[in-house]
Amino acid sequence: MRCTLCNSETILYSEIQNKKYCKCTTCDGILLHTSHFLSAVAEKERYELHQNDVTDSGYQNFVYPIIEQVQNDYSSNHKGLDFGSGSNSVITYLLNNSKYHISTYDPFFDINDDVLKKKYDYIVCCEVMEHFYSPSKEFKLLHSILLPNGALYCKTNLYDSSIDFKTWWYKNDTTHVFFYSSKTLHWIKEKFQFKSLEITDNFIVLRKE
């Protein structure tokens, strides 16, 4: 199969429990073979199992790096978008409590295409990019709706060579289809012409010119 991010050739990387994973020879992404992708109905059913309690302290602490970075970089006068907000977003909840103006979009629970026709100072994308069936299309969109000097804040578990992929828990979620390394993120920065890339643990900031 071709890489869904950069359209380069991939090689078979691993086969686990009858699922094939391919690795891109160019951007270093690891992809679940498209033959194992869930249908839209099955994917939504999986998401509906999530328990998203916005008042849960553990959930709030998990997203705190994003909240802190947004508040360091922008004021409540700036406009944000929570892309892939799910059925109940703790990020939107916490930022709204701080009087920030943030819109939401989710392809299953908050389908509002009008918000994708506007421009934003910042976009948050928390535990979302690993679900992208078409990451090239999604990153192109996200870059296009950022204002100049805008920031894209992402959170996902990054893969590196120190991780045993066969036992890596993060791949076991049936809705996780694309896994990124540091090299993959640098490819995204260059391809979509972001000004800078910052990686701290599993928190990623891509800034636009």
pLDDT tens-place values along the chain, 209 residues long: 999 999 999 999 999 999 999 999 999 999 999 999 999 999 999 999 876 789 999 999 999 999 999 999 999 999 999 999 998 899 999 999 999 999 999 999 999 999 999 999 999 999 999 999 999 999 999 999 999 999 999 999 999 999 999 999 999 999 999 999 999 999 999 999 999 999 999 999 999 99
Backbone angles phi, psi at 47, to 5 degrees: -70, -30
pLDDT computed for residue 163 by the predictor:
97
Residue 123 · residue 141 · CB < 8 Å? no
pLDDT computed for residue 90 by the predictor:
95
Instruction: Please state, in angstroms and rounded to a whole number, the distance separating the CA atoms of residues 171 and 205.
Output: 23
Residue found under tokens 């805008």:
150
The predicted model scores a pTM of 0.95
Helix/strand/coil percent split, the chain, to 5:
35, 30, 35
Instruction: Please state, in angstroms and rounded to a whole number, the distance separating the CA atoms of residues 188 and 144.
Output: 14
Instruction: Please state, in angstroms and rounded to a whole number, the distance separating the CA atoms of residues 122 and 153.
Output: 8
Instruction: Please state, in angstroms and rounded to a whole number, the distance separating the CA atoms of residues 155 and 10.
Output: 25
- For the chain, where are the alpha helices, taking DSSP H only? 40-47, 57-73, 90-97, 135-144, 182-191
Backbone angles phi, psi at 23, to 5 degrees: -120, 135
DSSP 106: B
pLDDT computed for residue 49 by the predictor:
87
Residue found under tokens 């360091």:
72
